[in-house]
Chains A and B, each alone.
Chain A
């Protein structure tokens, strides 16, 4: 079918993605044919109520789950047709994950956590890669805490480590699943600003959220409902600025 899909300029392309699974002898059709493209440099918020297929889409986009049919083009490869090991390679090389619960590994230090995706690329770390890990830690403002353990960091700091980790493999896109869900509004703002900065530097970001305030900060919002695309719209610069201003104005006062 779409073997000759044009992929230049796209971080990923989703073509007629369907996902069904059996739950207690009942077939659940979580995705019923979703198609959309994410061009390089985009900043997309994926929204939708629970049961809309949002999580399923996230898992498929993150190459953690395989669709029943359809294609997911990451570069010239269709992730929908890959084996478990190939998907693992894709995850370690082309995707940057940021989770709601930060998901750092407790027994590793900040810098070691950042290195994990490189570790699974199967090659010993080069000096440049080591330097890159340090630079990323500095970039997210944790240059002085390289040897701290996750338990010694605040939630916001942990999420910044996670963002640094998501960048270490220079991914096609960052896939952030409710990255601010566990954070207070001040830290949420910090993280959103960091995302904005990364996007301005050219990073592609896919952000799954159910908060309107968060989705308004993205360049584009994709809304799912009942396993289908409900709408896909561009946030104008005014909407984004307004949302940023609103967030700053309603910041709780530091006591």
Chain B
């Protein structure tokens, strides 16, 4: 123990003979270790965000969406009905045993009005389970109930932003909002908490922004608005005939999801010609996202590993120079009784001191990753506001999440780098003939 302590002291002293050189060598490992932690943390942050968005769709759900078919499939004259039907909804619920519950959803753009305040938003017709599946939380009142749905009540639930825009001063619950296109009034029964957007999934599912939503019972929507919706868009009238925009199925168990998805696909095979539906399985997306994340992290880890390798080569380089430079000292030590392994130990201790100093400072700096990114973003936001706005969403919002394993990992790797890249110079030093080493100028 005393021997090691002595060797370490000696190593530090020897390294301190050339402080600049040692610091630069340490810097190589420092950057390597810090970049391992940083790159992994940032890629995990990005991966986590994607995963969180997908998870918010629910891992045990399957979504069947109506999509607008390609224009050549639609008849040029009049309106062609397309998409999911209520009949299919009933069929799915009745025939697929692994389905725990199913939510029919109809969505459309609508204008909402209260007094003279107007807002364009999305009207969603749904059933009570919708709140649970999409993880909507209420600030006041209640979500749509089965009774309201059954009775086709003209009741509605507002999202946080709609409530804020239409009712900046009043308590919305108990008030009535007006929908000018249908000349209908709806009684506000509940207000939701603000909710973040979900991920966009390929072309089949646009990112869902829940901020401008108004929810009403689906039976009310069917009765009072119907399937045919005409809208004025850029001067021309546009229409669509859709019974349901989406059916969200919840499976009994996550393990049933894949099988259920296959059954659903088979059951709705008739739509394959029209290409007017898309089946979205968040679980699959989740698995995809996990694979992508793993690949991404592996890739980032490799970049970091390369920088560690470069740092290691730096150590080796400096130690080889040191060995040549200290040939005389090695000769003296050998003459005074140092064995070959004492010389090896001395040089390995020196490389380890270098690499561990780099490793530990690198880890400390790596731990600052989160605050550092936040700070850099804040600074960038104040100085380059415009440029920042043009950057992708991910860059603006990513919050690095340190991979816990990367800390002991980085420490271990830096130690290994020190030992591995120290072995060659150390053995070269130990192999020297003491007589010749003593004669070395």
Contact = CB atoms under 8 A, between A and B. Distances in A.
Interface in A93-123: 93, 97, 99, 103-108, 116-117, 119-123
Contact of B332 (A89, A103, A169): A103
Contacts of B333: 105, 116, 120
A62 B335 contact: yes
Contact of A124 (B3, B328, B337): B3
B435 A65 contact: yes
Nearest to A102: B332
Contacts of B2: 123-125
Interface string A45-82: 00000000000000100101100000000000000000
B33 to A, nearest CB: 27
A249 interface: no
B337 A88 contact: yes
22 contacts: A64-B334, A64-B434, A88-B337, A88-B339, A92-B337, A92-B338, A97-B336, A99-B335, A99-B438, A105-B333, A106-B329, A116-B333, A116-B336, A119-B3, A119-B6, A120-B337, A120-B338, A120-B342, A121-B337, A124-B6, A125-B2, A169-B337
A147 interface: no
Nearest to A94: B337
B435 A91 contact: no
Contacts of B338: 88, 92, 120
Given A59-B435, A106-B329, A107-B14, A84 B340 contact: yes
A3 interface: no
A120 to B, nearest CB: 4
Contacts of B329: 105-106
Contacts of A103: 328, 331-332, 335, 438
A92 B14 contact: no
Interface size class of A (residues with CB under 8 A): 20 to 34
B4 to A, nearest CB: 10
Contact of A107 (B17, B335, B337, B340): B17
B13 to A, nearest CB: 5
Nearest to B441: A101
A236 to B, nearest CB: 34
Contacts of B341: 85
Contacts of A121: 337
A89 B337 contact: yes
B354 to A, nearest CB: 16
Interface size class of B (residues with CB under 8 A): 20 to 34
Question: Secondary structure at chain B's binding surface: helix, strand, loop or mixed?
Answer: helix
Question: Secondary structure at chain A's binding surface: helix, strand, loop or mixed?
Answer: loop
A78 B164 CA distance: 99
Interface in B244-265: none
Contacts of A89: 337, 339
B328 A88 contact: no
A104 B6 CA distance: 18
Given A85-B341, A106-B17, 13 more contacts: A84-B340, A85-B339, A91-B335, A92-B336, A92-B338, A103-B332, A120-B338, A120-B342, A122-B3, A123-B3, A124-B6, A165-B336, A169-B337
Contacts of A84: 339-340
A63 B238 CA distance: 103
A62 B332 CA distance: 12
Nearest to B13: A107
Closest 8 CB pairs of A and B: A92-B337, A124-B2, A120-B337, A88-B339, A91-B337, A103-B332, A117-B336, A107-B13
Interface string B422-441: 00000000000011001000
A64 B340 CA distance: 13
Interface string A122-135: 11110000000000
A151 B335 CA distance: 21
Nearest to A116: B336
Contacts of A65: 435
A95 B3 CA distance: 21
A88 B17 contact: no
B6 to A, nearest CB: 6
A107 B336 CA distance: 16
Nearest to A86: B339
B22 to A, nearest CB: 12
A165 B336 CA distance: 9
Contacts of A165: 336
